[in-house]
Chain A
Amino acid sequence: MKFWDLIKIANRNLFRSKLRTFLTVMAIFVGSFTLTLTNGLGDGLRDYVDKQVKNTEGNNVLFIRKKFERRNEQLNPDEPVEYKEKSQGEAGNKFDQDAIIISQEQIETLRNQLPEIKTITPRYWMKGEFITMNNAKKYRVFLDMLSEGVSQKVEAGKTIDGANQILLPLDIAKAYDENLNNLIGKTATVAYRVNEKTDEIKTLQLTIVGVSTKGMMTNFSSFVDSETAKRIYEDQNQQSDDFNQFSNLTLQLKTGEVQKIAEVKNKLDELGFSADSIADRQKRAYDGVAILQIGLSLFAFIALLAASFGIINTLVIAVLERTKEIGLQKALGMGRRKIFLLFSFESILIGFWGAVLGSVGGIIVGTIVNIFVARTYLESFEGYSIFVFKPLSIFLVMLLVCMIAFVAGVFPAFRASRLNPIEALRYE
């Protein structure tokens, strides 16, 4: 029997007992509907994460901090920790700053031990006061540093590549000029307070090189280059106790080769640092989404598991009902394999129709929810839809459901294929 004939006959057989098939399909529908929605939710989150984390780029950059060493005392969750009196000078129960602060000597050691390093930029914290252009309106400014080697996606212009440069966030840029390109190359005045206690304010003239694409961090922050950042940091912190004590460094390497970076990471690990590349950070965000998605999909799988017993039940009854027919087909020379295939196709088709209905239903419901929620709750999350339906995901859901259905059909199909034609023809 031809393949296509088998599928056609299988489909016709299904519609012989319409109600029974419909009910079995409905059980599958519930599972694939849920799976479509959880997948849509996952893809929606992933899209959102994509938009947020893909904003920064740099394949030769590592963010490092000290590996946090656990103190010797084991923390047993079942027992309260006893407070110990310590004499002065000892760390006691106070948090040990040295555990996270990277000293100047350590930075020198890094430079000496790792010839792959091109630049080391500490994480400079700054507090901006306002920004203005040519005596135009002043706006509050949140300053952030773009480390050497990291580039920021821009709506207009380009990323930072030298000293005395600034990237504006979209909202501020638009406030100054709707046509973003007009701003590129112009000078912005950035003001910052030198000392928290006094009102002394300093200003810097910075060249606008670009306007950042929106994202998690870039909705508000203006980015400056590391030299400018250092200058502001020194002005603001010279008097402070923890001046030039950093817990985070950005390393720019001379190479972007994956293997070399892995080697550097290993060396850093031996030296007591944990290092993340931008890719590592992105991967962690995706892993979080994936775990959430697997958790949600579990419910869909339970529904599909229950539905697959429905398929088994339906097909076992079909085999009994059609015993004579199977006997005749075998007598007329239809082989075991073909009988097996016929029933397998019937179960796959139940899965297929359930998956089609489930996907369509899921997409419809998801789209309605998207429209509704976008109007009400998510206005502040620009560019985020709760459900995103990708053709590939939908296809994979269908494929998976068909596979589950196939597995469910194996037992009845096998029973049908093993029927003895003589006994089957005699069956009452």
Chain B
Amino acid sequence: MLETINLYKTYKGENVDYEVLKHINLQINQGECVAIIGKSGSGKSTLMHLLACLDDPTSGSVLFEGEELSQLNEKQKDLLRNHKFGFVFQQFFLNGRETVFENVVLPMRIRGADQYDLTKSAMEALEAVGLKDKEEKRAKDLSGGEKQRVCIARALVGKPQVIFADEPTGNLDSGTSESIEKMLFQLNREKGITLIVVTHDIDLANKCERIIELKDGEIVSEK
């Protein structure tokens, strides 16, 4: 479903160019659970950004369902991210002043969904993460684990095909991490949502079906 062909990403420096990603070829199938691991600076986040259509490669291509992402215009990319992808970030990026409900429905609001769809999908997503009774609470009043569950609900609300999780447990204690991990894997298993986890946590990576290890912008191992 997601495929990269000879992907390169170079950042222009003052004297030297930094090759962040070199010669990346990979294929991710529908419903897979993939971990991208590597030390900081290995290029794993950049790879995720390219896969998630948040950034453009310097050369090579990313294909989603056979379609080359670089061929899409700005608007089509926005639509693709909104409809097909969900995002979970380490720092949550919740709007603390707004209610849990408002945070969760943001992708649906951006999509322009009507009130019925909006409420229905928000309720389903909140139920899936077990926060149905907290929809009216302000996001800032939640605990770290609850916040990340709100983020998962937000990633889930638009019924995406792929969820990108960038260090989803990076800010959480081990007990909370475990429940968040469980929740993500459950979504992957039960709803068939492709899960792409970017992490430097080997324990989390080991729970995934596939591990892609990056070092200095290159794939060094794949299992």
- A→B interface (CB under 8 Å): 1-2, 5, 9, 12, 16, 324-325, 327-336, 338, 421-422, 425
Contact = CB atoms under 8 A, between A and B. Distances in A.
Given A2-B112, A332-B81, 18 more contacts: A1-B111, A2-B109, A16-B97, A324-B93, A328-B89, A328-B93, A328-B106, A331-B52, A332-B82, A332-B110, A333-B79, A333-B81, A333-B82, A333-B107, A333-B111, A335-B74, A335-B78, A336-B74
Contacts of A5: 109, 112
A333 B83 contact: yes
13 contacts: A1-B109, A1-B111, A1-B112, A5-B109, A328-B106, A330-B78, A331-B52, A331-B54, A331-B81, A332-B81, A332-B110, A336-B74, A422-B54
Interface in B73-122: 74-75, 78-83, 87, 89, 93, 95, 97-98, 106-107, 109-112
B49 interface: yes
Nearest to B97: A16
A188 to B, nearest CB: 76
Interface of B: 49, 52, 54-55, 74-75, 78-83, 87, 89, 93, 95, 97-98, 106-107, 109-112
B49 to A, nearest CB: 6
Contact of A329 (B55, B106, B111): B106
Which interface residue of A2, A328, A329, A331 has the most chain B CB atoms within 10 A?
A331
Contacts of B98: 12
Contacts of B54: 331, 421-422
Contacts, number: 54
B81 A329 contact: no
A422 B46 CA distance: 9
A86 B7 CA distance: 103
Contact of A425 (B81, B82, B93, B112): B93
A282 B55 CA distance: 66
A333 B93 contact: no
Contacts of B82: 332-334
A380 to B, nearest CB: 60
Question: Which of A9, A12, A335: most chain B CB closer than 10 A?
Answer: A335
A324 B74 CA distance: 20
B43 to A, nearest CB: 13
A9 B106 CA distance: 11
Name the prevailing secondary structure of the A interface residues.
helix
Contact of A334 (B55, B78, B87): B78
The listed residue with most B CB atoms (<10 A of its CB), out of A2, A12, A421, is A2
Q: Which of A325, A330, A332, A421 has the most CB of B within 10 A?
A: A332
A343 to B, nearest CB: 15
A63 B81 CA distance: 75
A325 B95 contact: yes
Nearest to B82: A333
A2 B111 CA distance: 8
Contacts of A333: 78-83, 107, 110-111
Nearest to A338: B110
Contacts of A16: 97
B49 A332 contact: no
A334 B77 CA distance: 10
B127 to A, nearest CB: 21
Contacts of B87: 331-332
Interface centre among B75, B107, B109, B111 (most CB of A within 10 A): B109
A332 B106 contact: yes
A332 B112 contact: no
Contacts of B52: 331
Contacts of A422: 49, 54-55
Nearest to A337: B75
Contacts of B80: 333
A9 to B, nearest CB: 8
A324 B110 CA distance: 16
Nearest to A6: B109
A107 B75 CA distance: 78
A332 B160 CA distance: 11
B44 to A, nearest CB: 14
A332 B154 CA distance: 10
B89 A425 contact: yes
A334 B97 CA distance: 20
A324 B96 CA distance: 13
A154 to B, nearest CB: 62
Contacts of A335: 74-75, 78
A85 B107 CA distance: 94
A156 B95 CA distance: 72
A329 B112 CA distance: 13
A195 B64 CA distance: 109
A413 B29 CA distance: 40
Which 6 A-B pairs give the minimum distances between C-beta atoms?
Answer: A333-B82, A333-B81, A333-B78, A328-B93, A334-B110, A335-B78
A333 B81 CA distance: 5
Residue from the set B49, B75, B78 with the largest chain A CB neighbour count within 10 Å: B78
